Amino acid sequence: MKNLFQKDIRVPKKKHSLYYRWVALCAKCNITNENDKNYRTYAAKGIKVCDEWKTNYVKFLLWGTQHEYKKELVLCRKNKDADFCPENCFFGKHSHDTEPFNI
């Protein structure tokens, strides 16, 4: 079986900070409670997490580490009407980037 981890990524004893962001991302896009503020922002608009990320944390981790992830940045979408997927996401700062997903 091919090793899923690249040379600079190891299975940590403590979970990587991107793990908690991935959990939050999947949860916020999967809300069914219409009274939840995130329901109106994401689920009600049909915004989803792509299958590649939703079902495979390692792929999200690899993407994040290859795309300038830093703890002080937030996950943003280029197109606020499109899903969370590698082609539509980047890490940016609140002050100047479009539609930050605060995770």
Span 20-31, pLDDT tens digits: 999 999 998 888
Residues 61 and 16: beta-carbon distance below 8 Å: yes
Span 52-73, pLDDT tens digits: 999 999 999 999 999 989 999 9
Could you write out the three-class secondary structure of 21-61?
Answer: HHHHHHHHCCCCCCCCHHHHHCHHHCCCECHHHHCCHHHHH
Q: For residue 43, give its domain range.
A: 17-101
What percentage of the chain exceeds 70 in pLDDT?
A: 77
- Residue 61, in any domain of the structure: yes
Is residue 13 predicted with pLDDT exceeding 70?
A: no
Residues 6+ apart with CB under 8 A from 45: 81
Widest Cα–Cα separation across the chain: 45
Q: For residue 32, give Cα distances in angstroms to 58, 63, 80.
A: 26, 27, 20
pLDDT confidence of 39, banded at 50, 70, 90?
Answer: confident
- Supply the pTM of this predicted model: 0.76
- Residue 4, in any domain of the structure: no
Give the pair of three-digit tokens for residue 65. Answer: 């580490």
- Residue 26, in any domain of the structure: yes
Domain count, the chain: 1
pLDDT of residue 95: 44
